[in-house]
Amino acid sequence: MSEPGKHPLGVASELATKIFHLISEGRHFPPSPRLIDRGIERAGLSGAHSARVFDVTLGILRWRDRLDNALSKALTKGSFKMPEQAKNLLRAAAYELVVRREDEPAGLVNKVVDISKHIAAPDGRIGKLAPLFNAVLRKIAGSSPEPMPGDDAGLDGFSTFYSIPEAILSKAAEQYDRIWMNKMCRSTGDRFIHHLRVNPFVEPNEAWPEALNAVRFESNGEIIWKADSLSPEIRAANIEGKIVIQSLPSQTAAIMLDPRPGDRVLDAASGVGIKAHHLMSLIAGWGDLVLCDISPEKRKICLSNFTRWNVPEPDYRLVDLADSDAVVRGFEGDRFDAILLDAPCSGSGLIHHLPEKRYTMNLELLGEFQALQKKMLRNCLTSLSPGGRLVYATCSIWAEENECVTDEVLCESEGRFERSERQVFAPCGRYPGFFIEKILSME
Q: How many CB atoms lie within 10 A of CB 160?
A: 17
* Distance from C-alpha of 203 to C-alpha of 200, rounded to nearest angstrom: 5
DSSP strand pairing (264-268 vs 336-342): parallel
What does the alpha-carbon distance between residue 95 and residue 137 come to, in Å, rounded to a whole number?
A: 11
Give the E-state strand segments of 110-263 in sequence order: 194-198, 215-219, 222-227, 243-245
Neighbour count for residue 321 (Cβ, 10 Å): 26
Q: Whole-angstrom Cα distance, residue 35 to residue 323?
A: 33
Residue 389 pairs in a beta bridge with: 338, 440
248-441: in CATH 1.10.10.10: no
Question: Could you tell me the pTM of the whole model?
Answer: 0.89
pLDDT by residue for the chain (443 residues), tens digit each? 345 556 888 899 999 999 888 888 877 667 788 888 888 888 887 777 888 888 899 899 989 999 999 998 888 766 667 888 889 999 999 999 998 887 788 889 999 999 888 887 777 778 788 998 999 999 999 888 888 888 888 999 999 999 999 999 999 999 988 888 888 888 877 777 889 988 989 865 555 666 677 787 777 677 788 887 777 788 788 888 999 999 999 999 999 999 998 999 999 999 999 999 999 999 987 889 999 999 999 999 999 999 999 999 999 999 999 999 999 999 988 899 999 999 999 999 998 888 888 888 889 999 999 999 999 999 999 999 999 999 999 999 999 999 999 999 999 999 999 999 999 998 887 889 999 999 999 98
8 upstream amide cis, omega within 30 of 0: no
> For residue 376, what pLDDT is reported?
97
- Domain definitions of the chain by residue range: 3-141, 158-189, 248-441
Q: How far is CA 222 from the centre of its chain?
A: 22
Nearest to 417, CA basis, from 358, 317, 339: 339
Q: What is the DSSP letter of 120?
A: B
CATH 1.10.940.10 fits 3-141, yes or no: yes
Q: What is the DSSP letter of 21?
A: H
